[in-house]
Amino acid sequence: MRREYNSEALTIGVVGAGTMGRGIAQIAAQAGLRVCLYDARAEATQAALGAIEKVLVRLVDKGRMEQAAVAAILARIAPLGSLQGMADCDVVVEAIVEDLEAKRGLFQELEAICGEGTILASNTSSLSITAMAAACEYPHRVAGWHFFNPVPLMRVAEVIEGALTDRAVSDALLAITERMGHAGVRARDMPGFIINHANRGMTSEGLRVQSEGIADFATIDSIMRDAANFRMGPFQLLDLLGLDVAETVIESIYNQFYQEPRFRPTPLIRQRVAAGLYGRKSGHGFYDYRSGEPESPSAEPVAPAAVDRPIWISPAEPVGAAALAEALTAENVRLEQGEAPSNEAIIVVTPLGQDTSTACLEQGLDPARTVAVDTLFPLNGRRTLMGSPATGADYLQAAHGLLAAGGVPVSVVRDSPGFVAQRVVVLIVTIACDIAQQRIAVPADIDTAVKRGLGYPQGPLEMGDALGAARILRVLENLERAYAEPRYRPSIWLSRRARLGLSLLQED
């Protein structure tokens, strides 16, 4: 018998009253749903109730909740002494230990207790919903319901359809998610679902750039924050997640996709885990938190004084060249207008996905005097400058001084196809395009999930549109040429839309 999942009086069962279970119980009760809460350890259930009360009282203190609401919310959460009490639940969501056999065993127990109409949902981050459902008599009622930590603040949940999940089941969970004040996004049962899958670009390419000696981690983070407008760079994010947890996710998604080269990690992360450098939770990860504040090993370097030397900007990339010329003109930097640089000029190229070496050789420019500036991103937050191994130190220094003269910080990195931010961002965009191409989720849901779950300033597809799909494609094609690695192959979803001049959000 199918239940009415849109009825006012829904009861949600939550099994596992740890970090996630208590968060789910809290937002469900706040939304007016009845909650049954069970944990194998009775003291964990009591601790969860105490923790929820504390959170609610804090909301009252901040004036965000009426005092009377606290008792009403708590009254809606019934602590259970055994699983038997779950019999009448409309949905039971498990947030127990991340172990497939434990979850399969729990679902079998629940099937013996609950009617066929009860939805069985799992908050797993990494296990297959299909494999969990396969242990059940009625696999069509099993789905993933993936919340994020801390549940009340991370206002998104992925609803995951296993191979046999009924559409009505995922529809019901999406509606309940919205009722609980979170955005519900639908995903197919694939490794990493949407959000952990979409975050591969940031972490794997950030690590790759560092491992190639292009820039240190703090510089990479600064560029991702100040130039590309992310709230955090990849190393801050890793420190926040915990490197031990992140390593498991990184390796599991890489291996579940049969060693997909885009997701290949570097040995650096395992080494840091071996050293106990877990991040914020252990006081030391990439950054050192022991003094209470993140300590950056490379504080902002002092820019050299600006010398009066002309800059000649190559017109090979007209959009980037024009943006740089406009910024430098406003800062009173002397620009040469001739078709070729004079003998005293610093030569600046603005490549997309090319390193300085390739750009200057292709354009027939003097390598000793050529530097490159990243113009894919606005030039008013932070500027990324790089030379080639042939660039004279005096030219690089002079370029640094002139680029910094207007007060915008400059990061100097080693020669790299795509600098730092171009590489990380195009990986983020192309992976999101792959997610769309593989029909793991629809484009709008991919963007919603990433914005809410990862705090990116824009969804990755929207970001690709804003920067220009054709330019993203150029960066990828040049990266692929430079490294001869399938890691950088453009997603077919991206190349098709870039060539047709369509939005990356355009479905087919």
Q: Which of 16, 152, 184, 192 touches ligand NAD by CB under 6 A?
A: 16
The pair of structure tokens assigned to 117 is 């109409």
Rounded to 10 degrees, the C-alpha dihedral 224/228/229/232 comes to -20
For residues 47 and 55, the answer to whether their CB atoms sit within 8 Å is: no
19 sits near ligand NAD (criterion: CB under 6 A)? yes
Look-up: residue for tokens 């190639």?
A: 212
Phi, psi of 291, deg, nearest 5: -90, 0
244 sits near ligand NAD (criterion: CB under 6 A)? no
Does 478 participate in catalysis according to the annotation? Answer: no
Kindly state the DSSP code that residue 295 receives in the 8-state scheme. Answer: B
Calpha distance 229→495 (Å, rounded): 25
Instruction: For CA atoms 408, 413, 417, 423, give the dihedral sign.
Output: negative
Q: Which of 10, 11, 14, 21 touches ligand NAD by CB under 6 A?
A: 21
Look-up: residue for tokens 């309940």?
A: 176
> Beta-strand (E) ranges in 192-338?
311-313, 335-336
Does 140 participate in catalysis according to the annotation? Answer: no
CA angle 107, 242, 17 (to 5 degrees): 35
Region from 36-44, 196-204, 246-254, 478-486 binding ligand NAD, contact rule CB under 6 A: 36-44
Give the active site residue among 111, 128, 146, 161: 146
Least distance CB 256 / ligand NAD (angstroms) = 15
Q: Which of 149, 255, 271, 298 touches ligand NAD by CB under 6 A?
A: 149
**Among residue numbers 105 through 124, which ones bind ligand NAD (CB under 6 A)?**
106, 123-124
Q: Which of 166, 115, 73, 192 is nearest to 441 (CA)?
A: 192
Calpha distance 316→481 (Å, rounded): 18
Q: Which of 57, 97, 305, 330 touches ligand NAD by CB under 6 A?
A: 97
Q: Which of 13, 26, 29, 39 touches ligand NAD by CB under 6 A?
A: 39
41 sits near ligand NAD (criterion: CB under 6 A)? yes
Least distance CB 196 / ligand NAD (angstroms) = 9
Give the active site residue among 94, 111, 158, 247: 158
Pick 40 or 183: Cβ nearer ligand NAD: 40
98 sits near ligand NAD (criterion: CB under 6 A)? yes
Q: Say if strands 383-387 and 370-373 run parallel, antiparallel, or are unpaired.
A: antiparallel
131 sits near ligand NAD (criterion: CB under 6 A)? no
Pick 106 or 424: Cβ nearer ligand NAD: 106
Residues annotated catalytic, as ranges: 125, 146, 158, 196
Q: Which spans of this chain sit near ligand NAD (rule: CB under 6 A)? A: 15-21, 39-41, 44, 95-98, 102, 106, 123-125, 148-149
